[in-house]
Chain A
Amino acid sequence: MSLFLPELALTSMALVFFFLSLGKPRSSLLQGSALGLSALVLVITFHSFSLVLGQPAQLLFFDAYRIDIFSQMFKIVFALGLFIVIYLGQGLKGVVEELKAEYYMFLSLSTLGLVFLSSSVELLTIVISLEISSFSLYVIIPFRFQKGYRQQMEAGIKYVMFGALATGISLYGMSYMFGFAHTTYLAELAPVFPELIKTQPLMVVALILVLGSFFYKLAMFPMHFWAPDVYEGASNETAGFIATLPKVGAVALLLRFASFAGVELNQITGILATFAVLSMVIGNLSALVQEDLKRLLAYSSIAHAGYVMVAILCVSALGFASAIYYIVGYLIMNLACFFVIYHVSRTGENVTMNDLKGLYKNSPLLALTLVLGAFGMAGIPPTVGFMGKFFIFTSAIEKSLYALVIITVINAGISAYYYLRMVRAAFLTSEEEVSVIPLNPAARLLGVLFIAAIIGIGIFPEAFMNLAKMAAGTIL
């Protein structure tokens, strides 16, 4: 029971908003309760993490649900992400007025799905968790409100279509897996897997099909097409959520799969490495020419998916820990960028490169946050992004994946160009008059925290890396 507390807390949070949505609550009440409840969830998750520390993994619900350091650590990340997204989107500028309670409800439900995901160790549970998190997102994308803007509908439809396709592919792959292995439990799959993948070539196909829906969540090639349009169509705060949390979830799942596929992953490393490379190349090259910031971040996230994949392909404790470190760093840096976008956009409209002009004058704090977020994602020290790349390179060279490292290196070089464009735009003097962007103290605090986190975790990666290694150790 106490192990299951984070899930219960999130469920009750969703329920509270369900009841609130029945009435007509004030906006401030909604926001306050959202912030308070998500903070509470965060605290409870931390508590449950402290419970599993040093304990053996526990299995719940007919062994389909595993509580270990790995899962609890990811739950903290999800809770933290939810908290930041709610904090960042103060006032929900871009969401229909009457639907704000529902918005928070679906946001917490989606997080709940991800939280389930990080503990699921059985194929059907995984599918259901994935669907819980996806369906909530399908619903809130069209919640966007902006006069005369209709693209959120297109974005919503695209997300649903791609999501359905990905789930279908994934289920199809699972059917093969079940057919060969006669089990849906990862724990039972693991021992027979090495033998199966040697004798049954279809097993390779099955595994890649299953991974398809994780790639969809991660926005990795070849399931990346939705990302730019969905980011663009969704409101800024929603895009911030979609851009970060589901990707962390996907990484958690990929790590679980990579760990049980283990050494045998080598046989499909070639295919996955190709996907990673194509992700990087397509993402980075497309991002070069984007004017809309959210589209740019979408393409950059496709590239980042490739970087993370390199770490996962190492199938070593260091590689897994690097993947965790990198994706969490990415979450912070990306949310920092969305924080800037959210505030630069005055009425919830999309932000283009042009809108960044003069940001430096309009709000130095936002400009600084953007600079750190952008340079962080470009991998310039002493940010968390640099340390992440450094760890990934270390683990990949350790495993002699030289070609991958070289390609990653070149891609990191290319990506610097478009991050620089953002910085340059923010520091160009605006021709127009200075129009100060008002930031309340809470938002200021968040900005400062982003800056501190990006630099702090970058300079002192020790504590976090140790946790990540511990988490990686529980699944390897």
Chain B
Amino acid sequence: MEHYLIHNTLNYPILSVLIIVPLLGAGVTFFLKGDQAVKSWGLLVTLITAALSVPLFTNWDFATSRYQFAEVTEWFPFLNLNYVVGVDGISVLLVLLTTFVMPLCVLCSWSYIKDRFKEFILVTLLMEASMIGVFISLNTVLFFIFWEAMLVPMYLLIAVWGGERKDYASIKFFLYTLLGSIFLLVSIVALYIKTGTFFIPELMAQNYSFSFQMWIFLSFTLAFAIKIPMFPFHTWLPAAHVEAPVAGSVILASILLKMGGYGFLRFCLPMAPAATVYCVPYLIFFSVVSIVVGGYLALGQSDIKKLIAYSSVGHMGFVTLGIFLLSDDGIKGAMMQMLNHGVTTGALFILVGIIYERTHSREIDKNSALGMMMPIYVTFLVIFSLASFGFPGTNGFIGEFLVLLSAFKTSKVVGAFAILGAILAAAYMLRLVQKMVWADSDGHGHHDDHGDDHGHGEKEHHALYDLNLREIGTLAFLTVFVFVIGLHPKPFLDVMDASVTQLLEQVSEGLKHVPAGGDHGGGHHAALREMGQQIREWIAMR
């Protein structure tokens, strides 16, 4: 076990602390009185967590693909189950993304959340602890515990503070994700029975038979495809996004969806390389469909939140596409896309929350022509919209560019469809910006209201005050990342470099040792034969 890990040399157990601080913080909220105190406490805890996570970046060892800052404690020796945490180049950026987005979630809820603030902070902090837990666990059971534990606070976040159809959306979210994750549990157990370990790096180092790989690959993929979400499992996302409170949407978009991509990289590729290669055509197909369908559906939305939700489906399509192109650029592009989507889409949801607080509407038509009244707001809106469809110079460009590059190398057709998705993204984002910043060309919406009912228009004007300092601070922070990543992505790519190389080596190494199904052609038949044989064996056993 030891040669996979580099033990933590900081003077505090950094990864455990990142879980424990939010948990303790959540415990303390029980005893706080008054909304103001609770809010400040929530902000303080998330900021402390963010500050404590900084050494992950500053003390990062760029040269190694081993798991850094690792901690090992015996937990349940009966099943060879240990508490093992550690981060590599793939997970560390996601941990940092989580710790940095969470304070913003508290900030953007400052006046958005009206009731039960105490519980809100409690749930948010529990959420933070479990999300960080997912990214740092190096043990499948620990991973699963955090993965599932996350469902409960997220469910409550939507169900308690959500919009009109919160019941429907929260239940759909819960059941969809739960269904996927129970299959995840089954394959975790199956892997354990096969190998006698829950330790993820050891599970990666094994060579499983092709049929076994197929089974675990399919059940892992189901769980992660639901989570990310990939077409045709995407329908829970718009519902959950639209009904969730602003912080819920931000968490969902910025962090939760990334767990799907993270899962693909951590489980599917290294543990089932042959099955991955076998399934690549289908997964690329579904990724491209996600990109195009997501973009196409976003084009037709009149609800801003729904539009961004569908755009997420498209963006996540780029992520899965990048992952399953199985190339260095592709995977790095997918990782960057995840990071960028976390920054940009999170910011877009914050922007929607801000305008919703003022106009109590998420309709594009009711929020048109804001340019005159809210200049700072629209500035941010334009920046993040450009970043969202990958305008050069912004962060979105880097990820999409890398993925597209790799896609064209692999197949011109795939590349062409992906480009189509990128064009669609520009189309719907520009349409959104055009309508929200300038007047609606059709003469509907805001100006109509203004003409018809002067008093009503007056009131709307009154409500439309520009951003306050808190909101500017929140968005400015994210803007910094838009340009830092956009103009100087090298440090971010360097962090993941060693781990991505290692991952690809694992995949190609894994393919060498699988007797059947490694190559196309005859391999497929052998693979199918083997699977058929396996199924027959199992039926005979029954």
Contacts and interface: CB of A to CB of B under 8 A. Distances in A.
A386 B174 contact: no
Contacts of A397: 186, 189-190, 193
Interface stretch (A169-177, A203-211, A412-420): A412-420
B141 interface: yes
Interface stretch (A22-30, A335-343, A459-467): A459-467
A427 interface: yes
A381 B144 contact: yes
B174 A402 contact: no
B151 A380 contact: yes
Contacts of B175: 413, 416-417, 420
B186 A405 contact: yes
A393 B155 CA distance: 25
B259 to A, nearest CB: 15
Contact of A382 (B76, B149, B167): B149
A409 B188 CA distance: 13
Interface string A445-476: 00000000000000001100110010000000
A356 to B, nearest CB: 14
A380 B152 contact: yes
Interface string A69-100: 00000000000000000000000000000000
Contacts of A290: none
A323 B192 CA distance: 20
A386 B79 CA distance: 16
Contact of B185 (A371, A390, A462): A390
Nearest to B156: A427
A442 interface: no
B186 to A, nearest CB: 6
A424 interface: yes
B522 interface: no
A183 interface: no
A420 B177 CA distance: 14
A394 B78 contact: no
A375 interface: yes
Interface in B153-183: 155-156, 159-160, 167, 170-171, 174-175, 178-179, 182-183
Contact of A420 (B141, B160, B171, B182): B171
B77 interface: yes
Q: What is the size category of the interface that chain B forms with chain A?
A: 35 or more
B78 A465 contact: yes
B542 interface: yes
B429 to A, nearest CB: 36
Contact of B183 (A390, A409, A427, A465): A409
A410 B178 CA distance: 10
Contact of A409 (B155, B185, B542): B185
Interface in A389-435: 389-390, 393-394, 397-398, 400, 402-403, 405-406, 409-410, 412-413, 416-417, 420, 424, 427
Given A420-B174, A424-B159, A394 B182 contact: no
A403 B542 contact: yes
A424 B167 contact: yes
Nearest to B176: A413
B78 A462 contact: yes
Interface string A157-180: 000000000000000000000000
B160 A427 contact: yes
A406 B541 contact: no
Interface in B139-153: 141, 144-146, 148-149, 151-152
B186 A394 contact: no
Interface residues of A, number: 32
B538 interface: yes
A247 to B, nearest CB: 24
Given A409-B183, A427-B159, A375 B152 contact: yes
A424 B175 CA distance: 14
Interface in A265-311: 270
A456 B160 CA distance: 27
Given A380-B148, A380-B149, A393 B189 contact: yes
Contacts of B192: 394
A244 B237 CA distance: 39
A378 to B, nearest CB: 8
A409 B171 contact: no
B193 A413 contact: no
A382 B78 CA distance: 18
A413 to B, nearest CB: 5
Contacts of B170: 424
A386 B542 CA distance: 27
Nearest to B183: A409
A303 to B, nearest CB: 15
A316 to B, nearest CB: 12
Contacts of A405: 186
**Which residue among A382, A386, A405, A416 has the maximum number of chain B CB atoms within 10 Å of its CB?**
A416
A420 to B, nearest CB: 6
Contacts of A389: 185
Given A381-B149, A413-B179, A393 B167 contact: no
Given A427-B160, A466-B78, A412 B152 contact: no
B76 A461 contact: yes
A427 B183 CA distance: 29
Contacts of B75: 462
B415 to A, nearest CB: 38
A403 B78 CA distance: 26
A420 B155 contact: yes
Contacts of A403: 538, 542
Contacts of A394: 79, 189, 192-193
Given A413-B178, A427-B160, A381 B186 contact: no
A393 B76 contact: no
Nearest to A424: B159
B189 A390 contact: yes
Contacts of B156: 427
Contact of A412 (B146, B182, B542): B182
Contacts of B190: 397
Contacts of A406: 186
A95 B439 CA distance: 71
A381 to B, nearest CB: 4
Interface in B517-542: 538, 541-542
7 contacts: A390-B141, A402-B538, A403-B538, A417-B175, A424-B159, A424-B167, A462-B75
Given A382-B145, A389-B185, A394-B192, 7 more contacts: A381-B146, A381-B149, A398-B193, A406-B186, A413-B178, A462-B75, A462-B76
Interface of B: 75-79, 141, 144-146, 148-149, 151-152, 155-156, 159-160, 167, 170-171, 174-175, 178-179, 182-183, 185-186, 189-190, 192-193, 538, 541-542
Q: Which 7 A-B pairs have the closest CB atoms?
A: A381-B145, A409-B182, A413-B179, A393-B189, A381-B148, A397-B189, A397-B193
